[in-house]
Amino acid sequence: MDPSTKLVFDSPLLRVHDDGRVERFYGTETTPGGFDAATRVASKDVLVDGATGVFVRLYIPDHLLTAEHKKLPILVYFHGGGLVVNSAVSPMYHRYLNSVASKAAVLAVSVNYRLAPEHPLPAAYDDSWAALSWAASGADPWLSDHGDTKRVFLAGDSGGANIVHNIAIMAGSRHGLPSRAFVEGAILLHPMFSGKETVDGESRETREMMKKLWPLICPQSTAGLDDPWLNPMADGAPSLRNLACRKLLVCSAERDHYARPRATAYYQAVKQSGWRGSVEWLESAGEEHVFFLHKPECDESLALMDRVVAFFSED
């Protein structure tokens, strides 16, 4: 550590120095796209916006690139990491999206949005909206030839699930996507939410951690933990009735003391909001935060994958 600088934020995930320098200790590994022999899925990276550097990694079952087939649902995925670490090209997410694309027969679009604190909010939301609009317009031949823009799904974990909610609200307030594509469903996996008032089961440590992290992510916020981007149930937050999708799946884990209490409160709030869509809850017994990324072959991960796969095919 440079003795001439002072730490303004220090955690096991990252350090931030007063000169703006950021040290990340997690989620910095990358892996290239290509053909995955285990799942028989092809992937490639495509630049979405040259000005911001935002790109996506596209995934498609390899045999569908040449075969005649019905067009595939498009899944736009937002990686987790508290909006401060990880990427769409990390080995963990590459493995997960290969698996989802293979088992669900979807065309997956994994978004590499910009991270805070170098790029505070709303950069991640702006990037995610741009990537979703780009994907829904069929801007790449894989999408135009093989993707069904009338069947677009959103999904994400942790900080990425926070993005899913906010993008679904944005689509509602903007009356849909510019390309007139339709967001059919959204999956929130262990979503990152918070708030000034505690909810049942929420630990003091979790809220104290978020009190320190949120100003780093969104320094312009004046509402703190009740910022509508972080607390969808806060006074002044957009109505949950504006969620722009037909169905919603909210997932948590029994031992996820970080996200489960807020995920539960969110699920209940959506149910009681008067939203016209259908919302379901899935809780994984005995597991912790985003366990399915670290233990993809355990029984609860396989059960969760089965439910995710079914979500794309249900009417």
Active centre residues (catalytic): 158, 256, 289
Beta bridge partners of 74: 107, 152
**Do strands 22-24 and 14-17 pair parallel, antiparallel, or not at all (unpaired)?**
antiparallel
Q: What is the CA radius of gyration of the chain?
A: 19
Where does residue 292 fall: left (phi above 0), alpha (psi -120 to 50 degrees), or beta otherwise? alpha
Cis previous bond, 117, omega within 30: yes
303 burial (CB, 10 Å; 0-12 / 13-18 / 19+) is middle
CA–CA distance, 221 with 87 (Å, rounded to integer) = 24
**Do strands 247-253 and 54-61 pair parallel, antiparallel, or not at all (unpaired)?**
unpaired
Query: What is the distance in angstroms between the CA of the first residue and the CA of the last residue of the chain?
Result: 55
